[in-house]
Structure 1
Amino acid sequence: MTSYAVGLQPQCYALVPAAGVGARSGATIPKQYVPLAGQAMMAHTLAALAQVTQLAATLVVLSPQDDQFDAAVPGFAGERAWVARVGGETRAETVANGLNELLARGAQPHDWVLVHDAARCLLRPEWVARLIAACWDDEVGGLLALPLADTLKASAQGRVTATVDRREKWAAQTPQMFRLGLLRPALASLNEGITDEASAIEALGHQPLLVESPMENFKVTWPADFAMAEALLKSRR
């Protein structure tokens, strides 16, 4: 376990990797810029993070070729709103580059970083606050997640091969909250098996904390998800 000097008061930073194009969504533009309920999807995400008072800043990590963010999310501004066009080919690489950017901007190894998907646009500030409270004194950190309710099936060539025991199974969500000094070396290998930040931490032998979150915190991935997300966003008004 990484140790930190006693007495250091950590800060919290949000990191939003947004260098991908969302190929599975079927959208003609990067899915984070698809309009939902009058705003780009990512605008809703960043508006929720802006309401989390425990965050010192939010860093959005874009592709070096991104030329849409400024027009799509004009409200993202101020001392706590940071942008860096240092995204990589994979999510893990983009997050790793974002961590380096945070260090360059003054973040310290003992600080907490909350990595959140731009496409989880239904995020509520109180969910983030609950995650921060749960992980603040934890040795490892943790993530928002949803206990699975559906029966799980294993398959091969479109047919069921087995029913999987769903007990103690969770669907991982974001934000995922870990100390910068632990997450950075965890991502250094950029292993293909790393699908989220928690899996990188697990690969080091740690056990992240699971903090229950609702199904509403789903990731917009498939074409049908856009209509569902828009309906939920409009219902909040």
Structure 2
Amino acid sequence: MQISFEAPRCYALVPCAGVGVRAGAAGPKQYELLAGRAVVAHTLAALAAVPRLAGTLVVLAPDDARFEHAVPHYAGWVARVGGPSRAASVAAGLAVLRERGVQPHDWVLVHDAARCLLRPEWVEALIDACDQDEVGGLLALPVADTLKEARDGRCVSTLDRHAKWQAQTPQMFRLGLLQAALAHAGEAVTDEASAVEALGHWPKLVPGALENFKITYPQDFVLAERLLRTR
């Protein structure tokens, strides 16, 4: 008897349930306008331009009433199952993907809604680098600046930046591994790679781009606006 094996597919998962306190916006930063569109609309447009993504799931807060207005032409999946932390929202989103037929061996690329300068070619590069990898990986940048440890607004020491990388997203792992990792690590983890690391795995670092920054503080909106308008 011949046993057929379906090749793993790739899906995107976008946690979009945060409130963006540090961004200084009037509401969730993912709905602020940049270059005439909501932040998350730019993000989803980039993901929609990646042919190898079989689907995209956006995870919203249960009481979110703004998404459909902010992204009126979005044709992907939406689930209002977001939790109090990023890890909780991602875990809930993974459960929804399982309900929709995504298999444990399929790849899930988790991407921040607020990394709105994402380019499709960066996603393609991540998929190329991780598709045959046993663990998966993430976009990241080697740290170029001198790192300081601070206390009360003053430097108390200089940290060794050798072999230090700044994590970005997407972060690409198999659904089954990521579910197990998040269940083991709990809600304190700030990205998927750290949860996978906690299980003893070493995620692959795939060089990203400086432009792929996450909107976090008020000044980030100004820079993102400028970059979007000059593309």
Q: Say yes or no: does 1:136 pair with 2:131.
A: yes
How far 1:7 moved relative to its partner? 3.3
In structure 1, C-alpha distance between the alignment counterparts of 2:24 and 2:188, rounded to whole Å = 25
Which residue number in structure 2 is paired with residue 61 of structure 1? 59
| Aligned mate of 2:205, from 198, 204, 210 | 210
After superposition, residues 21-170 of structure 1 pair within 5 angstroms as: 21-77=19-75, 81-170=76-165
How far 1:193 moved relative to its partner? 4.0
C-alpha contact (below 8 Å) 2:86/2:187 kept by paired residues: no
In structure 2, C-alpha distance between the alignment counterparts of 1:206 and 1:121, rounded to whole Å = 29
CA distances 1:126-166 after superposition (whole Å, capped 9, x unpaired):
00000000000000000000111100011111111111111
C-alpha contact (below 8 Å) 1:92/1:190 kept by paired residues: no
Gaps of 5+ in 2: none
How far 1:192 moved relative to its partner? 4.8
Which residue number in structure 2 is paired with residue 228 of structure 1? 223
Query: What residue identity is the alignment partner of 1:29?
Result: G
SS at 2:230 equivalent: helix
Query: What residue identity is the alignment partner of 2:52?
Result: Q
C-alpha contact (below 8 Å) 2:87/2:187 kept by paired residues: no
CA distances 1:8-38 after superposition (whole Å, capped 9, x unpaired):
3100000000011101001001100000000
CA distances 1:147-201 after superposition (whole Å, capped 9, x unpaired):
1110001111111111111111100000000000000011114535411000000
**Stretches of 4+ aligned residues off by more than 4 angstroms:** none
In structure 1, C-alpha distance between the alignment counterparts of 2:171 and 2:185, rounded to whole Å = 17
TM-score under structure 2 length normalisation: 0.97
In structure 1, C-alpha distance between the alignment counterparts of 2:188 and 2:18, rounded to whole Å = 18
CA distances 1:56-103 after superposition (whole Å, capped 9, x unpaired):
0000000010000000101212xxx11111111110000000000000
SS at 1:195 equivalent: coil
In structure 2, C-alpha distance between the alignment counterparts of 1:166 and 1:230, rounded to whole Å = 30
Q: Say yes or no: does 1:198 pair with 2:193.
A: yes
Number of equivalenced pairs: 229
TM-score under structure 1 length normalisation: 0.94
C-alpha contact (below 8 Å) 1:93/1:190 kept by paired residues: no
In structure 2, C-alpha distance between the alignment counterparts of 1:43 and 1:89, rounded to whole Å = 23
Query: What residue identity is the alignment partner of 1:101?
Result: V
In structure 2, C-alpha distance between the alignment counterparts of 1:221 and 1:52, rounded to whole Å = 25
In structure 1, C-alpha distance between the alignment counterparts of 2:160 and 2:44, rounded to whole Å = 36
RMSD: 1.2
